[in-house]
Chains A and B, each alone.
Chain A
Amino acid sequence: MTTQLQDLVLVGHGMVGQRFLEAFVEQPGAAEWRITVLAEEPRAAYDRVHLTSWFSGTSAEELSLAPTGFLAEHGIDLRLADPATVVDRAARTVTCGSGAVLRYDALVLATGSYPFMPPVPGHDAAGCHVYRTIEDLERIRDEAERLGPGGVGVVVGGGLLGLEAAGALTALGLTTHVVEFAPRLMALQVDEGGGRLLQRKIEGLGVRVHTGAGTQAILIGEDGRVRAMGLSDGRELAADLVIFSAGVRPRDQLARACALPVGERGGIVVDERCRTRDPHVYAIGECALAADGRVYGLVAPGYQMAETAARSLAGGRDQELREEHRFTGADTSTRLKLLGVDVASFGDAHGATEGAVDVLYSDSRAGIYKKLVIGAQGQLLGGVLVGDTEAYGLLRPLAMGGNPLQTAPEQLVLPSGLAPASGPIALPDEAVVCSCHNVSKGEIRAAVHDQGCTTVPEVKKCTKAGTGCGSCVKLLGTIVTEELEAGGVTVDRSLCEHFAHTRADLYEIVRVAGIGTFSELLDRHGRGGDGCDVCKPAVASILAGLAGGHILDGEQGALQDTNDHFLANLQRNGSYSVVPRIPGGEITPEGLITIGEIARDHGLYTKITGGQRIDLFGASVDQLPRIWRRLVDAGFESGHAYGKSLRTVKSCVGETWCRYGVQDSVGLAIELELRYRGLRSPHKLKAAVSGCARECAEAQSKDFGVIATSAGWNLYIGGNGGMTPRHADLLAADLDKETLLRTIDRFLMFYIRTADRLERTSVWLDRIEGGLEHVRQVVLEDSLGICAELDALMARHVDAYQDEWAAVLADPDRLRRFTSFVNAPGTPDPAVTFVPERGQIRPARPHEDGRILTPALVAGPRLEVHTA
């Protein structure tokens, strides 16, 4: 049966609009609709929550929320920069900016909100900005650049967004003030005590905070631009740039103009199914006044409304099912990091419930403030956490559960050393663990015991839990492990059939027992057999880090993968490629010429790598020592492109040359690369140093990345490009160089010690218990008491480093293996052949008549034979 398609028009393609589309196309009735989306902005939906990360290098493309192909796949007609201007409810049409008139059977308004501009004189002067779209940010950046380091920026509003804006201005090098009318920062989320601590922390970062101060006027200079700001207390604050971030208002003008009811303070009135008074018109997100009489300015409730409206419109024929999903209000708990300060607020944070009492822990010295609001029946109602939000993942669901606490509340706020020991705190099944996607503990447990998920990534995929803000991932891990153990499943993390240990276990065994060889480890701790291509290279890497020595010496040589075995990279036809180290990507003209000459003389194919170095392809094993000889004589050394070890420390050109650079990124990159060269690790390590917040070296896609600030260096860890990209997390900010090196030393050694085989830092960071916060405590606060050991191991590595190529060249014994045929030295491998392409060589394909690269044989090889 085919029916006439109905027309759905969505007005607004923001986060909630996109979510609506995603939810809608999954509904059983979605196929009956043709969808048109009208967007005011020139780009498709992007992640406004992480807008500030645009300043630290996240591109507009990376912020995009519309998956590639999504719109096309579902036949959605997205019209960018074409806002809706008029809705005619009687005719059921929408007129848009381009003049087109669209008929609709259903209209969904997701127009969001606009920044509130306090009606002070001068607020529209040049130099005044709001903070909402990528275009706003572009204007702010351009202006901050023009002003340079002497400029002064003032942010009006000390809420969440205002503090983010202040952070961005600081990062752009401006002297930054925050002016807040309320007596404290983040007045909505935190209480007085929390606000005081937050203010102290933020002032510690160089931002000047003025609370209890109203903006009276923007004073304009002779050039027509902002000159200063007049405050309600009579003071005048010099200002070159002003950002208004004093709250938002619902964009309900379209609804007002077509006489749909709106709230007294704005917001399109909707019912529990997100329908306006007109049954053909829906409103979702920040533009809607929900059935509970509130306008929600957070993304999670907006997502829930999107889901509700989608089901209501296309949830299938069963009326009851369509109406089952209702939006009756939402949890406004938040956990975030502002300028490096952790802040969380959940449930009844201000103790508004009758009979509520507080349990408070405050330590100004350590910068920690925790308040829990407890109800009359002993149930947790809500709380505020500043400085340490570790417990948020557990506390928020407990507060939502509403059951009396089974533990003394003080135990929940005391630091772990001070709290009396107790078992795990039981969460009820109905407790919502992931509030972004509204997933309860019961659903997570079901994913494990009914759907066979055994890992956090599987549960994430299956339930969507943990894929929003990510704050519940740790709790997720605990629940999954508990559930697996309850089901009698032991998670087998054995390295391979020869060892019933993880790589991290083996590392500890080797370290503690002082084991020096693979045989010894296999005999004493293995399960029999001879080892394999899984455990041998893994153990070789552990031994290289702990026992030292050349990786090809003694038994260790036999353990290495072919790349390490030949100190070069195996290519598809059995030839190798050679990558000399070019620290930080800096190379002299002579160096370039030398590499060119060597490549030319050996007939190698050359290509510039992504890591700012030069790869020479097509070498046979016989040629390798001759190529190294020339490279080593010219001052080059191994680039370790073959190893599970540090590859490259990429850099931008930095302040030495770049107009925008604030630190010498090349110098630091060279220093880092020379410090960590040759360091064997569970997987390859990539790094980068950027000389300013523009991030041209792409440091946030590296295992460790450093970004210069005007006050020092920011250190990011756990980034990854490749197949599963991950943005790195900020581990520490504004470090001096000595602290930076020490912190990287410890991070690397801690990773090497605890990671699984072939586990990149990105995966490791997501897996280990406690995640980033745990790593921070270990490497910055020495919470495990191992930093002295980590430091000593790194010091030994730095001292013991030797160039692996030069060491081979110096030793005839090690050189012997570099021959194609042990019984016909000098005979090149006849199977390795090449053909010309674009002026260089490439491997011959099957059936192509290729040429052997090395000088062809005059006669066949002479082999010693005798008859049987």
Chain B
Amino acid sequence: MTEMLIRPPATDATTGMVEILDGRTWTRVCDYQELTPGRGVAALSAGGAQVAVFRDRSGALYAVDNRDPFSGAYVLSRGIVGSRDGVPTVASPMYKHVFDLRDGRCLDEETAPDGRPAVLRVWAVRVAATEGAP
């Protein structure tokens, strides 16, 4: 069976399919090796939601909403991954708000322009062993 991986031990050795959990359904995103370290991709969940999936320099995976609450545009997957005070982050390409990738919280402003808390939904993400792999 598959194993949920947030921090794979050795990046290059990791193969398999990246998947996100939508309710009770794992949705395939792409092959782990297709993800560029420090960059993200956008994926659709089984329920049709837009999810931004990132791989950082150490190989860890993160998945959050693709929607930037400050601009309303679905662009977070195109942001730059980095760190602030040791916390893994993504910066929105629109107005450069920085979000904590672990809990989805915006580190720059607490509230979005629509009055709601500026927190992204965090999606469970894993690398599932490819069928036939040892």
**A867-B24 CB under 8 A given contacts A497-B85, A558-B36, A558-B39:** yes
**CB within 8 Å of B: which A548-596 residues:** 555, 557-559, 561-563, 565-566, 570, 572-574
Does B46 contact A865, Cβ atoms closer than 8 Å? yes
Q: Does A19 contact B (CB under 8 A)?
A: no
Does A831 contact B83, Cβ atoms closer than 8 Å? no
Q: In the complex, what's the smallest C-beta–C-beta distance from B42 to chain A, in angstroms?
A: 5
Does A823 contact B44, Cβ atoms closer than 8 Å? yes
Summarize A's interface: helix, strand, loop or mixed.
Answer: loop
Across-interface contacts of B50 in A (CB, < 8 A) = 821, 829, 831
In the assembled complex, the Cα of A562 lies from the Cα of B76 at a distance in Å of 10
Across-interface contacts of A816 in B (CB, < 8 A) = 34
Does A821 contact B42, Cβ atoms closer than 8 Å? yes
**CB within 8 Å of A: which B13-58 residues:** 21, 24-30, 34, 36-39, 41-46, 48, 50, 53, 56-58
Q: Does B61 contact A (CB under 8 A)?
A: no
Across-interface contacts of B53 in A (CB, < 8 A) = 822
Complex partner residue of A865 from B26, B37, B94, CB under 8 angstroms? B26
Does B38 contact A559, Cβ atoms closer than 8 Å? yes
Identify the closest chain A residue to B85 (Cβ): A497
In the assembled complex, the Cα of A822 lies from the Cα of B32 at a distance in Å of 12
| Interface set of B (CB-CB < 8 Å, partner A) | 21, 24-30, 34, 36-39, 41-46, 48, 50, 53, 56-58, 67, 71-75, 78-86, 88-89, 91, 93-94, 96, 98
Identify the closest chain A residue to B39 (Cβ): A558
7 pairs of A and B residues whose beta carbons are closest in the complex: A562-B93, A532-B82, A533-B91, A558-B38, A574-B73, A530-B83, A529-B83
Does B26 contact A868, Cβ atoms closer than 8 Å? yes
Identify the closest chain A residue to B126 (Cβ): A868
Identify the closest chain B residue to A536 (Cβ): B80
In the assembled complex, the Cα of A861 lies from the Cα of B46 at a distance in Å of 9
In the assembled complex, the Cα of A557 lies from the Cα of B108 at a distance in Å of 26
In the assembled complex, the Cα of A588 lies from the Cα of B35 at a distance in Å of 42
Does A867 contact B73, Cβ atoms closer than 8 Å? no
Across-interface contacts of B74 in A (CB, < 8 A) = 574, 829, 831-832
Q: In the complex, what's the smallest C-beta–C-beta distance from B114 to chain A, in angstroms?
A: 9
Interface size class of A (residues with CB under 8 A): 35 or more
Does B80 contact A863, Cβ atoms closer than 8 Å? no
Across-interface contacts of A537 in B (CB, < 8 A) = 80
Q: Does A454 contact B (CB under 8 A)?
A: no
Does B39 contact A557, Cβ atoms closer than 8 Å? yes
Complex partner residue of A863 from B28, B36, B42, CB under 8 angstroms? B28
**A561-B41 CB under 8 A given contacts A530-B82, A829-B74:** no
Does B28 contact A531, Cβ atoms closer than 8 Å? no
**CB within 8 Å of B: which A505-555 residues:** 519, 528-533, 535-537, 555
Q: Does A838 contact B (CB under 8 A)?
A: no
Across-interface contacts of B28 in A (CB, < 8 A) = 823, 863-865
Does B44 contact A863, Cβ atoms closer than 8 Å? yes
Does A530 contact B57, Cβ atoms closer than 8 Å? yes
Across-interface contacts of B73 in A (CB, < 8 A) = 572-574, 831
**A530-B88 CB under 8 A given contacts A558-B37, A565-B78, A822-B34:** yes
Identify the closest chain A residue to B82 (Cβ): A532
Does A868 contact B24, Cβ atoms closer than 8 Å? yes
Beyond A531-B83, A863-B28, A863-B44: 17 further Cβ-contacts under 8 Å? A497-B84, A498-B83, A528-B86, A530-B56, A530-B88, A558-B81, A562-B75, A570-B75, A574-B74, A574-B75, A820-B42, A821-B42, A821-B43, A821-B50, A863-B45, A866-B25, A868-B21
Does B39 contact A533, Cβ atoms closer than 8 Å? no
A-B contact pairs, 15 of them (CB 8 A): A497-B84, A530-B88, A531-B82, A533-B82, A558-B36, A566-B78, A570-B78, A570-B93, A572-B94, A820-B42, A822-B43, A823-B43, A863-B27, A865-B26, A868-B26
Q: Does A754 contact B (CB under 8 A)?
A: no
In the assembled complex, the Cα of A529 lies from the Cα of B88 at a distance in Å of 9
Does B25 contact A533, Cβ atoms closer than 8 Å? no
In the assembled complex, the Cα of A519 lies from the Cα of B72 at a distance in Å of 33
Across-interface contacts of A860 in B (CB, < 8 A) = 48
